[in-house]
Chains A and B, each alone.
Chain A
């Protein structure tokens, strides 16, 4: 059973890695972001007029902001659209008639999208760091710590968003419905892991936030798996 899941994960990773979406996500978008960073007026990035290209904000921080605002939505949309589209094209019929756990199909999809979007974030951050180094602004110890922490936080956001995408991919019958659900409902779910801290139930610590996100991801994937197992395809 484990080997079937591993095979599906490997295949999904290959599928996404080969898709044009990943070319855009890994190469085109980071490059556009860097160009955008250089074109930003200095006043908008915290620097004074005449501070030069990019203003006062480092490229690393800029890319971090950009990724945190985009990566979750991208992950959720990617996985949901893929699942609904394959459901509608009856792709899963040929998988579920084989002696495997049905849930493995969508869990593999989750792992693949999570990995691909995380790689895209790391690439973007690395590009930001490279730009800063080239511009003579090498990262200090605390900056490296913050960058690593923001990447780790991003993985939590990406995982939660991808899990939300899996859930809506399983329940929605059309791509449009899945997209609407993600944009209007899924976006607001990102705040859920923070609620225990806002309400004072749990201490407001970074790792607590990550643990709550992880638990939520697990619950969402379990429910999605249950629904997918019972679905009539």
Chain B
């Protein structure tokens, strides 16, 4: 068992008497990428702010690298790179001046800053904007600047609050590449996002937070199994027969024109059902373009979780 680098134990936070987080606990191992997901208002940002030492009044214990985030802030801050949900910069600063100061405050030597800042600006496509004032940047560019400041001092732990928000697809891909690179270099990453396909792409494990409670955490595959998500068979017909072949096999829903999704219980034999579908379609004069099992993704998992939570009240 690898010792955790980030540890939350029984964290409860109330705002004006109302619980925002209730007894939240999870661990993140060194070098792990942990995706933190949940609906709006679930308490994701509050959790990340506690980790960053921005919120100090809460119940429970939070440590980074064994140091308490409240009482040993200097130690945890030396390990941490943090991107807040909306990174704010002083308006008068240029992109370069903002990064240089924040880098210096993180203890990055001048020579390293002189090398690293242009490199990161180049990587994020902000080289041209280096002498621009921060207030002249677009939302997406400001988000990139926020990411650069979080990476500048090569932190051991990266905590990113909605890092993909406001980024165009190439930038999202770039960020995911960077997260993977950082992971290979041994960095531990915790990030929240509501773009679940992106979380699925990079996270080793996910934690689902709902109404201030950590509902479940584990690898995506573990969660799929634990949730017992139904198997879906996707059927795409080139020629649709007069009688559709799904009768008695499961719940069918139209997906796209000439495409259907057949939901079968987890216990069902997907291979046998596919065989039956092919036989019935061909016998009825239909022709199949594509047929196969549609793997459930994180979106399905999350939707299922929210539906079940709502049903439980």
Contact = CB atoms under 8 A, between A and B. Distances in A.
Contacts of A93: 52, 54, 82, 84, 87-88
A96 interface: yes
A93 B102 CA distance: 11
Contact of B87 (A8, A90, A96, A230): A90
Closest 8 CB pairs of A and B: A90-B88, A89-B88, A91-B88, A98-B105, A99-B77, A97-B82, A15-B92, A99-B74
Interface of A: 4, 7-8, 11, 14-15, 18-19, 86, 89-100, 230, 232-233
A91 B89 contact: yes
Contacts, number: 68
Contacts of A95: 102, 105
Interface in B81-109: 82, 84, 86-90, 92-93, 97, 101-102, 104-107
Contacts of B53: 96-97
A86 B90 contact: yes
Interface in B103-136: 104-107
A91 B102 CA distance: 11
A7 B57 contact: no
B299 to A, nearest CB: 30
Contacts of A96: 53-54
Interface of B: 52-57, 73-74, 77-78, 80, 82, 84, 86-90, 92-93, 97, 101-102, 104-107, 146, 149
Nearest to B80: A97
Contact of B56 (A7, A94, A232): A232
Nearest to A82: B90
Contact of A94 (B78, B89, B97, B104): B89
Given A90-B87, A93-B84, A99 B107 contact: yes
The binding surface of chain A is classed by DSSP as helix
A91 B91 CA distance: 9
A97 B88 contact: no
Contacts of A233: 54
A77 B226 CA distance: 59
Max chain B CB contacts within 10 Å: which of A15, A96, A99, A100? A99
Nearest to A12: B90
A86 B56 contact: no
A100 B88 contact: no
A18 B93 CA distance: 10
B80 to A, nearest CB: 6
B87 A99 contact: no
A92 B54 CA distance: 10
Nearest to B146: A94
Given A7-B101, A19-B92, A98-B105, 10 more contacts: A7-B104, A14-B92, A86-B88, A86-B90, A93-B88, A95-B102, A97-B53, A98-B77, A99-B73, A99-B78
Contact of B106 (A86, A90, A98): A98
